[in-house]
Structure 1
Amino acid sequence: MRSVIPIIEQLDRALSELAINHPLNGRIALILVDNGLELMCHLKCTDLLSDDRRRSPRGLTQEQRNDARGRAFDRKIGLLQDLGHIPAEQAQAITTLHGYRNQLYHVGLRDDPVIGQLAHLYFHFAAELLEPLLGTQRHLRWEPEIITDAARRLLPELATAKRYGAKVDIAGLRARWVAECPPPPVPIEQALSRHLLARVDEAEASFSIIATGRSGTDDPTATLRTVQLEADTLTAIRRHRRDRDKQLKAKGIEPKPLDDEQLAMARGTRVLEDLNARLLPNWTPKHPILPFNSWRKQATSISTKRKASIALGSFDRIRREIDQLEDIIAEPIEDMYGWHQYLEDVAMDNR
């Protein structure tokens, strides 16, 4: 990327999307901000490599140069944090928000009600990093195909710029964007808190389907322990099998594929308990008791956080715990639906 113009175009468009309170516009804004910030980090890494080549002795290690040249966003964020260009708190928040962009791209988003608030927060982080990453002023290489009428509308200073003398007032641009950015419809901390409380209610309702087992009299805490044990044991079995398959391949032996359907049939049997004792002798459940009330207390406290970045960190931690629980109870819920269908079929046959 030889110019900041595409960065500015994307962030300015994101600002326009933030003015519309709709999840679709929030999604577009989040993607635009993420891409713009990623390009900002890339440009800063390019500057660092250029400066390093002119230094003697060179200031960057080989590993740092590899991170600067590479395409891994998290490695570049880590490098810029280590070198003092991005504060640690912002680096963590950017990594978290980048993960939500990945959800949009790859698996869809479970958290549409707060996507606009997350995009607002991401935009402000990007604006705060404009000067640390791009400088107060940015000299442009002359690229007629990039310095278009649209670019001149965003950056009036380009209208009178001479060849080889074009400059962008990054500090002025940041101030203008911050002034123009509309506030989110609901304060970010409150929005994250409300959404998380709704997610807790949904997770508890899902768990209630299997909480008392097929008998309807099982202890919900015991059921929670069982589904965690089964999920962790199945993960350990697959990991153990992968390691063994690598050893077989190293010896030139083609391993047999693991039968996931047959493995899933072990749920609800003592087989998994025995394997758990062998593969995970020190295993303890992540949630020894039902987590829903604890999650509600933590979710409620998010609305009182003084900094949006701290609220984001708490929100993301609890959200990931909820996602993890929902993932491990998904198959037991399907099994329960199958059991109910079986009982209905038996009842129909007996009529």
Structure 2
Amino acid sequence: MLQFVADQVDQLDLALDQLAVRDRNFDRFAMMLIDNVVELTLHRHAREKARENEMWRHDSSPKNDPKVVAAALGQSFEAKVCLARSTSMIPAEVAQSIQYLHAFRNTVYHQGRRHEGILHSLAIFYFQNACSVLEGFKPMWWSTGSRDRISHRAIKYLGSPKLFEHREVMASACTRLRQVGNSLGQTLIADLQADMNNTIERVDEMIDFLTTEAPQTTSRKQAIISAQAWPFAFSDDGKQWARDNHCPTDTVGGYVDWLSANYPWPVRADPVSGWRKRLVSLKAEKDLNAALKKYCDFMRQTEDFRSKIDESASQLDAYIQQQIDIARGK
């Protein structure tokens, strides 16, 4: 067990080195190291809870919900977090933040997303939460062996602890890791606010572009509905909704106009002013966990609409470029 904990401390110290460089590629590496520590520690926690159930299997009821433990021993990160929360290893707000941060790690690793402007502060915040996870890990007993090899990175925080001192040493090590992490600075709320503001302004500009540069004069509301109507009109769901509601026209233009007027669109009015109110709320937030939730909720809830506006603006831009080429005789 000592070897396992020392390895996690080693990785966190290595992550600190990457974060100190303040380069996005090093931030990506740090994010992956930190996420690995969190997932491994949560999985080891699940193994400990399974062992507890086995030791007290003759009791009238198991100490830990067997279904929750079994799920946590699988591949699901969410299930591991659920067990950690239900067994009071970590508080609910930390559990929620870890899931958001794990999702960011996935987009960085699997999709190559850069998250310009927020990745560094996200990684620092994830580091702080990883310290909470490691500190909350309390095995039933500590063990060490002759094959244990404690790295120089881990010794900086753990020293050469005696077996009976492990719990105290771990608490001290996590405190020291946090202190070093805090020395890197914490700009999470400011960075999230800036990124959210840029997102809102970009959508606002695209809606303006759709209203001022389209071949036919249109209002912001019409542009917003149209951006949703055209892709929906030719989807299977759109065609089925039109059949179920007895669309009265067979022409493409009439069909889209009818859908525009009758379908209950998720966004029917200009959302920008409401978004800016949410931005003010984020800017005023003092709690890092709450701020991350507000940011992630906004990005998730608006993602589909923002994607449709972006696609509509891209199509209009392509049409304008085509007309320019035609006028130039190309």
Q: How high is the TM-score relative to the length of structure 1?
A: 0.77
1:155 deviation in Å?
Answer: 2.7
- Partner of residue 326, structure 2: 346
8 Å CA contact 1:18, 1:116 repeated in 2: yes
- Partner of residue 117, structure 2: 113
Structure 1 distance, partners of 2:116, 2:93, is 24
- Once the two structures are superposed, the pairs formed by residues 92-241 of structure 1 within 5 Å of their partners are 92-109=96-113, 111-134=115-138, 139-142=142-145, 144=147, 146-157=149-160, 167=166, 169-185=169-185, 187-212=187-212, 214-232=214-232, 237=237
SS at match of 1:14: helix
SS at match of 2:117: helix
Instruction: In structure 2, give the amino acid aligned to 1:16.
Output: D
8 Å CA contact 1:302, 1:311 repeated in 2: yes
Instruction: In structure 2, give the amino acid aligned to 1:49.
Output: A
Instruction: In structure 2, give the amino acid aligned to 1:155.
Output: L
Structure 1 distance, partners of 2:65, 2:235, is 38
The one of 289, 294, 314 equivalent to 2:294 is 314
Q: Which ranges in structure 1 are unaligned for 5 or more consecutive residues?
A: 241-267
Structure 2 distance, partners of 1:138, 1:235, is 58
Q: 1:152 to 1:346 in 2, by over 3 A?
A: closer
- Partner of residue 247, structure 1: none
8 Å CA contact 1:193, 1:302 repeated in 2: yes
1:77 deviation in Å?
Answer: 0.8
CA RMSD for the aligned pairs?
Answer: 3.2
Q: 1:322 to 1:275 in 2, by over 3 A?
A: closer
Instruction: In structure 2, give the amino acid aligned to 1:214.
Output: A
1:129 deviation in Å?
Answer: 2.6
Report Cα offsets for 1:99-133 as digits up to 9, x if no partner.
11011012222522011111121111121232222
Residue identity over aligned pairs, in percent, reads 22
Q: 1:348 to 1:300 in 2, by over 3 A?
A: same
**Bigger shift: residues 333-342 or 92-101:** 333-342
Q: 1:10 to 1:239 in 2, by over 3 A?
A: farther
8 Å CA contact 1:212, 1:220 repeated in 2: no
Q: 1:221 to 1:110 in 2, by over 3 A?
A: farther
**Bigger shift: residues 25-34 or 208-217:** 208-217
1:187 deviation in Å?
Answer: 3.1
- Once the two structures are superposed, the pairs formed by residues 255-270 of structure 1 within 5 Å of their partners are 269-270=253-254
Do residues 64 (structure 1) and 68 (structure 2) align? Answer: yes
Q: 1:75 to 1:239 in 2, by over 3 A?
A: farther
**Bigger shift: residues 41-50 or 110-119:** 110-119
- Once the two structures are superposed, the pairs formed by residues 241-320 of structure 1 within 5 Å of their partners are 269-271=253-255, 283-320=263-300
Report Cα offsets for 1:82-105 as digits up to 9, x if no partner.
233222211111111111101101
- Partner of residue 244, structure 1: none
1:40 deviation in Å?
Answer: 1.0
Q: Which has the higher helix share?
A: 2
8 Å CA contact 2:210, 2:223 repeated in 1: yes
Structure 2 distance, partners of 1:295, 1:22, is 30
Report Cα offsets for 1:47-76 as digits up to 9, x if no partner.
101111111233344422321220110111
Structure 1 distance, partners of 2:291, 2:109, is 24
SS at match of 1:3: helix
Structure 1 distance, partners of 2:273, 2:236, is 29
Structure 2 distance, partners of 1:270, 1:134, is 66
How many residue pairs are counted as aligned between the two chains? 315
Report Cα offsets for 1:162-210 as digits up to 9, x if no partner.
8xx8947210101111222234556322221122112211222233332
The one of 308, 317, 328 equivalent to 1:328 is 308
Instruction: In structure 1, give the amino acid aligned to 2:220.
Output: P
Instruction: In structure 2, give the amino acid aligned to 1:126.
Output: A
